[in-house]
Homo-oligomer: A and B are copies of this chain.
Amino acid sequence: MSVAKKVTIQDIAAKAAVSISTVSRVLNGRVSVAEAKRTAVLQAVEDLGYRPNIFAQSLASGHSMTIGILTQEIRGIFYDELVFHILEELRETSYTAIIADGHWQVEKSLEAINTLIDRQVDGLILVGGSLPEEKVIELSKNKPLILAGRSVSTLASQSVYVDNFLGGYQATKHLIDLGHRHIAHITGEINQEDAIERFNGYKQALEDAGLRVEEKLIVEGHFQEQSGLMAVEMLLTRGQVFTAIFSGNDQMAYGASLALYRRGIRVPDDVSLIGFDDQTMSGYTIPPLTTMRQPAGRLGRAAANAMINLIKEEPFETRPFQAELIVRESTARHR
């Protein structure tokens, strides 16, 4: 397996008739170099098709120009979008990303983080995830760390996330405004802050509207389709009465929708349904799903930029983003 002959900084130093340090200088552009030499070097680089060896650079300089991203599911759900946008934003910089998948498991996440650290990443972006807070805090002491789609109160300044409480509140309020009085809620993985926040928003909205929080209408899910389906099954089997469902995320809403369909319950004619995240698919479900859109693009970009600033030790600020209500056919006025 032949590999393209390696052109090194020496080769171009020779060709440009300068020393390798001069080459290094023009390449890194920190220090000024005589115009003549500069162009000569650039020319040589061009001619020989020189590409720096990142490993050598890193070894010598101490930083890898790589940032590690730990996500929880390369496939599916909202985090994809987020990661995608982080990558897009990073593309504008000289940093490259390495992605690792924690697969929703603490153990695997830790393992993944270790491989990222072994890769000498200059910084770490944790996308969502369920790593215990202490661990996160500990990590943040050794590496520049940004949390995306998750917040840890003591690391608020390094968290890029959407206000889930407000989102849950608004989703629920939307249903209330439509005249619903018995609104079920399928929570997300209940040990995750965002799931809890959405849940709290739901409760607050009910209270503010003078409605009772009916424990029987609350079912715990785990953010995936199947749990949404099961949740509705459970509600129906128990004979609960409700005219609307606020699902902790879109994926569970899909499952919920199917469960309703199988029971012959129509959406939104019989039951209104609202999700959270606005995944691409949500505009194409039958009927299209009303949901709270997370600004994945802005979140991703913000996370990437925060990371860069952190590394450069330049000041920056983050503030919670807001989810936006996207009304589609799955919700309707209660009759």
Contacts and interface: CB of A to CB of B under 8 A. Distances in A.
A272 interface: no
A164 B80 CA distance: 27
Given A4-B142, A74-B74, A288 B258 contact: yes
A118 B258 contact: no
Interface string A4-48: 100000000000000000000000000000000000000000000
A143 B1 contact: yes
Given A55-B59, A120-B55, A286 B285 contact: yes
Interface residues of A, number: 54
Nearest to A119: B54
B286 A225 contact: no
Given A75-B81, A142-B3, A120 B53 contact: yes
A197 to B, nearest CB: 24
Interface of A: 1-4, 51-56, 58-59, 64, 74-76, 80-81, 83-84, 87, 96-99, 101, 114-115, 117-120, 141-144, 225, 229, 254-255, 257-258, 261, 280-281, 283-288, 310-311, 313
28 contacts: A1-B144, A1-B310, A2-B141, A51-B117, A54-B118, A54-B119, A55-B55, A55-B59, A55-B64, A56-B59, A74-B74, A74-B80, A74-B83, A75-B80, A76-B280, A80-B80, A96-B119, A97-B99, A98-B98, A225-B281, A229-B284, A254-B284, A255-B284, A257-B286, A261-B287, A281-B281, A285-B285, A285-B286
